């Protein structure tokens, strides 16, 4: 199933996309869809709800569930800030 999405794009980027689509013999829509498909991780990640991998927010280290762990994450951040402010770190 294909779903239509409206995405704002500046005029210069649209012109570059049109030119590249023309070179490839594609419509602008098909070219932009192919760019999205190339950049997204495999569907397996998205199915697991791994939003961080979709947007590239986590490059290394253990992944977290912000909704579940927000209290701990905020507490850790506040503690680190306190240690830095009191020069204990």
pLDDT tens digit sequence for 21-75: 999 999 999 999 999 988 888 765 444 555 555 555 555 666 667 777 888 888 8
Domain boundaries, the chain: 1-39, 51-89
Which residue in 7, 66, 59 sits closest to 32, CA to CA? 7
pLDDT at residue number 60: 63
- Using CA atoms, how far apart are residues 34 and 28, in angstroms rounded to an integer? 10
Q: Could you tell me which residue, 13 or 1, shows the higher pLDDT?
A: 13
Q: For residues 43 and 34, is the Cβ–Cβ distance under 8 A?
A: no
């Amino acid at each position: 199933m294909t779903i239509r999405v409206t995405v704002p794009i500046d005029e210069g980027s649209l012109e570059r996309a049109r030119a590249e689509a023309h070179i490839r013999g594609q419509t602008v829509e098909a070219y932009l869809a192919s760019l999205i498909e190339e950049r997204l991780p495999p569907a397996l990640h998205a199915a697991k709800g791994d939003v961080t991998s979709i947007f590239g927010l986590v490059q290394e280290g253990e992944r977290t569930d912000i909704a579940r762990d927000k209290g701990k994450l905020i507490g850790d951040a506040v503690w680190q800030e306190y240690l830095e402010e009191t020069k204990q770190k």
